[in-house]
Amino acid sequence: SYIQPKADGFDMTPSRDLIERDILTASIGAATPRLGLKSVEANLPVEFRASGVEGGDVDFAALLESALGAKRSITTTTTTKAAGNTGSVLQIEDADISKFNVGDIVVVKEPGGHWPVAITAKTTGVGTATITVSPSKTAGSFSASVVISKSQMYYTANSGHPALSLSYYWANEILEKAIGCKVKALALDGFETGGTADLKFGLEGLSFDQVDGAAPHTPTYDTGLPPLILKACVFKSGTDIAVNKVGLNLANTLAFITSTCSPDGKISSRVTKRVLNGTLDPYKDDTSVAYFTEFNAGTEFSIFLAAYIPSGVAGEITMGSVVGIYLPKCIMTSLKVGDKDDVLIDDIAFQAVRGADGQTEEMYLGFI
């Protein structure tokens, strides 16, 4: 399948280990080394955008699954019960509750007030099925029989990160391949007021090749457009905070499985460790030291953000344009006072964690 990368920042870098021959010769120079294990690295930036179709998969889906490890989808819209909704709890018919999972990101299609949310809890009792969402509706309750959107979800997992191969036709004349790659880095870049953001993937693989040959077919890409980072609210523990930019960096540690029987040396890879860090820059409150108190105590908090394209109806969203990120548990790792245009900010670095019991997934990424 085709992926449409950004024009700048895409590259492939093949390499081979040099095995030095430490032998005595008549020269102070080195003898020609042997070529050992193959390796390849690639960088592939894409726009931070959805597919253009509500709940549809993006063309860079394979990269997301390789980075995070797991995916699931909500393939149909859902109408809540005719009574009982609040601003944070939605009443679900028994036949529909199996569609939803904790961590799913959806849009509650409140007429005139579409509301992107993450599902933080669900109940499944007969006749009492509900989902709890965050952030809560700004005021009042969600309407009776309100519609919940479709969704395509990616989330962290301990295994199942698929390998993939990248092929690029340089000038549609020379085919270069990076074979057996997995994503070792994923960064949210450019999520800053007024611009558009990117997702930057870094990959490492088993082998490489380069041959003379043109593309055998014509590329096709998603129709989705990247949303502007305007009305792209950031919520900390369900509360809207004023920030100018957000950064996220996921790092996967890859362990390569080698074999003496392989001509390239490497035969597969596993993701053995994951670390997810981020940054926030809320404006400093001159009446509170709440951020310092949380930092000093190691208090856990959640982060939810969503970007989308508004529709022609006031307060509503163009379906197929929404991208949301939910980090259920984070702790601050550093806090210092900075400034933006001479206005004080709290410059916060944080890490997404799995909670004291290690059972909470660090990240959910949804496309609606």
Q: What is the pLDDT at residue 232?
A: 97
φ, ψ (nearest 5 deg) of residue 218: -95, 130
Q: Could you tell me which of 301, 194, 148 has the C-alpha nearest to residue 239?
A: 301
Q: What is the pLDDT at residue 339?
A: 93
Q: What single string gives the DSSP state of each residue in 180-211? A: EEEEEEEEEEEEETTS--EEEEEEEESEEEEE
Structure tokens at 142: 């969600």
Tell me whether strands 115-123 and 207-212 are parallel, antiparallel or unpaired: unpaired
Query: What confidence tens digit (pLDDT) does each residue in 69-122 have?
Result: 999 999 999 999 999 999 999 999 999 999 999 999 999 999 999 999 999 999
Average pLDDT over residues 122-139: 96
Letter for the amino acid at 51?
S
Indicate whether 55 pLDDT > 90.
yes
Asked if residue 73 lies in contact with residue 366, where contact means CB atoms within 8 angstroms, the answer is no
φ, ψ (nearest 5 deg) of residue 276: -125, 115
* pLDDT interval class at 133 (50, 70, 90): very high
| Torsion sign across C-alpha atoms 261, 265, 266, 272 | positive
Q: Could you tell me which of 185, 151, 209, 147 has the C-alpha nearest to residue 45?
A: 185
| Burial letters 346-357, b for 16+ CB under 10 A, else e | bbbebbbbeeee
Indicate whether 207 pLDDT > 90.
yes
Average pLDDT over residues 146-159: 98
Structure tokens at 257: 């499985």
d(CA 312, CA 321): 13
Asked if residue 194 lies in contact with residue 230, where contact means CB atoms within 8 angstroms, the answer is yes
Structure tokens at 38: 């193959």
Q: What is the pLDDT at residue 240?
A: 96
> pTM for this one?
0.95
